[in-house]
A = this chain, B = another copy of it.
């Protein structure tokens, strides 16, 4: 059965919904009521008559309407029974939030869950997970208060996480950075739906342009490989694999109870499947952001435009270290810029617009580089601190980036003022980096993804 009901249910039952604000079931039920979810939500709890004025059922089977999605948040030992009821009710999709199974040694209980799933042919995410966040439909099974965990805006990056805590941290961090998301799924112990199933679904999902995953292990190697290979032909698939050292692998086994393969095997399998491997969480999203909104480059020749010499030098170093090239402008471009700029702006690469640069000077430079056939990608360093630069620079760069002719990324570091302007750029689809090394690594990945070697 399709996974569609996890993301677009019309009816949702929250089993374990509670009037006690400290209970997870309370927060989840409330999220559905108070968030942007447009469907119907039913609380299920044998010990309550109504919650928030909505009639409570003792059992999911007592609900008269069909149920698309059931979210289970009851103590582990009650899960098999409750799941049985979901089966009888012919629930289309079930998310089991509850923990306390294989990950703490309760193998017997997890086996019981597996048998029930088979018997009723259910589709289940979890247990031991935080479930789904979908900014389009408003499905939000996260039991963390919004002041502690912000939610990102609608976008086109999907994120799959085996670890719930890690996933929630990432979501919170994305929201702060202004990175946007299409679907988010924490799948925990994966008794039924696993990373491969989710990847398959997302590869066909029209809101998703880039698929990211944090994996500790892979459930079924062959299935994963087959699906990933197919998915990566449609969309970029970027994976961060944890448990790559011997010690890390041991740590994994006691976390999600899954088997982590050795580093070497994983990396070569990933490569063969067309998966792009990220070294860290930060890099995962660095890559995702450039893949989601930048065109593929024709080559690896990069023009650096800057208003500060030091950052130009650092960026040059990292471009070379990442086996990319400094572009050499055509004579035509050089002449054009020489005419347009004051004498103290020396026309070369890095092109230092100097400390008295304004938005107009950046515009002239970027436009010339967009036209120049010797330039494949543009790295724009903006030190917002210089006195002549106003917030207008944000409009200029985002308008030029919207043409999508060549990849344009921005490098900018600083304090609060800089962060605000960077978020505006990010919001309008310009990937921003604080550090030259990250920018160069992302451009390298984009170049490789575009077919370069």
> Which A residues have a C-beta under 8 Å from some C-beta of B?
22, 99-100, 103-104, 143-145, 147-150, 161-170, 172-173, 175-176, 214, 216, 242-248, 251-252, 254-256, 279-282, 307-314, 316-317, 319-321, 326, 344, 346, 348, 350, 352, 355, 383-387, 413-419, 434-437
A166 contacts which of B310, B350, B418 (Cβ < 8 Å)?
Answer: B310
On whether the beta carbons of B243 and A313 are closer than 8 Å, the reply is yes
- Can you list 8 residue pairs at the A/B interface with Cβ under 8 Å? A163-B308, A172-B413, A172-B417, A176-B419, A216-B313, A243-B317, A244-B317, A254-B346
On whether the beta carbons of A320 and B248 are closer than 8 Å, the reply is yes
> Closest approach, in angstroms, between the C-beta of A216 and any C-beta of chain B?
6
On whether the beta carbons of B320 and A147 are closer than 8 Å, the reply is no
Bound-state Cα–Cα, A120 to B214, Å: 65
On whether the beta carbons of A248 and B172 are closer than 8 Å, the reply is no
Given known pairs A282-B435, A307-B165, A387-B144, the reply for A316 and B416 (CB within 8 Å) is: no
On whether the beta carbons of B279 and A437 are closer than 8 Å, the reply is yes
On whether the beta carbons of A415 and B248 are closer than 8 Å, the reply is no
Q: Beyond the given A169-B308, A282-B435, please list 17 additional residue pairs across the A-B interface where CB-CB is below 8 A.
A: A149-B414, A150-B417, A161-B310, A163-B310, A164-B355, A167-B310, A168-B385, A169-B383, A172-B415, A173-B418, A173-B434, A243-B317, A245-B316, A245-B317, A247-B320, A251-B350, A281-B314
On whether the beta carbons of A413 and B173 are closer than 8 Å, the reply is yes
Bound-state Cα–Cα, A175 to B252, Å: 38
Given known pairs A144-B385, A165-B386, A346-B254, the reply for A173 and B321 (CB within 8 Å) is: no
Bound-state Cα–Cα, A170 to B435, Å: 11
On whether the beta carbons of A280 and B386 are closer than 8 Å, the reply is no
A251 contacts which of B244, B313, B344, B413 (Cβ < 8 Å)?
Answer: B313
Interface centre among A243, A316, A383, A437 (most CB of B within 10 A): A316
Bound-state Cα–Cα, A254 to B354, Å: 12
On whether the beta carbons of B385 and A309 are closer than 8 Å, the reply is no
On whether the beta carbons of A246 and B320 are closer than 8 Å, the reply is yes
Chain B residues near A251: list those with CB within 8 A.
309, 312-313, 316, 350
> Closest approach, in angstroms, between the C-beta of A279 and any C-beta of chain B?
7
On whether the beta carbons of A418 and B172 are closer than 8 Å, the reply is yes
Name which residue of chain B comes closest to A27, CB basis: B387
> Closest approach, in angstroms, between the C-beta of A177 and any C-beta of chain B?
8
Bound-state Cα–Cα, A163 to B315, Å: 14
Name which residue of chain B comes closest to A419, CB basis: B176
> Closest approach, in angstroms, between the C-beta of A41 and any C-beta of chain B?
21
